[in-house]
Structure 1
């Protein structure tokens, strides 16, 4: 077996294995490019090494663009888009103030967690609606 054929086959397998270890759909497309170069070198002997490398780079770029254009935008949308964004998941809830809002800052308790809030000055116990979040600070308005 020729060394260039073996090298491209091994590179394709390594890239596919790397994709399984750290999934992200990036190495997969580089692996596809390596497979195409492998097939080209297998079927057409004598391709210079520089041309092989250039073909791999061009095919990698093309395959990643194909992924970005046709496959990335077609991913399923989550039925719970705020699942891992806890502050965003709280938007719309109505809760009482645990500590009144003084000079724009206060605190609420939601379940077993305390959250800093920002909004208009209100006394302790006033009911507020969560309207947004900036980092870990909830934006509230009086109900």
Structure 2
């Protein structure tokens, strides 16, 4: 085998290994460019090294742009869209006021946390339903 063919193959493998060690879907696309030049140089002997490098740069940029355009735009639907938005998971829950709502502010305990609430004037011990969340503050209304 010619040295440039081995070199491009080795570079592709190193880039694929780097992607496996620190995944981020970036080295993969540069590795694809190196693998493409490996195949080209293996199939077409006599291409000058300068043109091989130009082909590597162009193919790597094309692969990265293709990923940016088509690969990242397709978002995956989550089976738990509120997973990291804990306060929004509480909408619809019913709880008892720890502190009555005075001047629009009060507190409620749900599960293992105490939450600030806003709503109409209500006494402590009143059952309330969470109807919305604004900036981490639960908006409640009397339940029932």
Tell me if both proteins adopt one fold, taking TM over 0.5 as the criterion.
yes
Counterpart position of 2:64: 64
Scaled by the length of structure 1, the TM-score of the pair is 0.71
Query: What is the rounded CA distance, in whole Å, between the counterparts of 1:102 and 1:40 in structure 2?
Result: 75
Tell me the secondary structure at the aligned position of residue 91 of structure 2.
coil
Q: How many residues align?
A: 139
Contact 1:104 1:120 in 2 (8 A): yes
Counterpart position of 2:82: 82
- Aligned pair 1:48/2:49, yes or no? yes
The CA deviation string for residues 102-142 of structure 1, in whole angstroms up to 9 with x for no partner, is 55554332211233x352464433414151253xx233132
Q: Structure 2 stretches of 5 or more lacking a match?
A: none
Contact 1:96 1:108 in 2 (8 A): yes
Query: What is the rounded CA distance, in whole Å, between the counterparts of 1:139 and 1:44 in structure 2?
Result: 69
Query: What is the rounded CA distance, in whole Å, between the counterparts of 1:41 and 1:118 in structure 2?
Result: 68
Q: Structure 1 stretches of 5 or more lacking a match?
A: none
Alignment CA distance shift 1:121-1:54 (3 Å):
farther
The CA deviation string for residues 22-54 of structure 1, in whole angstroms up to 9 with x for no partner, is 3333322222112112222333434233x4343
Alignment CA distance shift 1:129-1:16 (3 Å):
same
Query: What is the rounded CA distance, in whole Å, between the counterparts of 1:2 and 1:105 in structure 2?
Result: 77
The alignment yields a C-alpha RMSD, in angstroms, of: 2.9
Counterpart position of 1:14: 14
Counterpart position of 2:140: 141
Alignment CA distance shift 1:62-1:93 (3 Å):
farther
Alignment CA distance shift 1:119-1:11 (3 Å):
farther
Scaled by the length of structure 2, the TM-score of the pair is 0.70
Q: Which has the larger radius of gyration?
A: 2
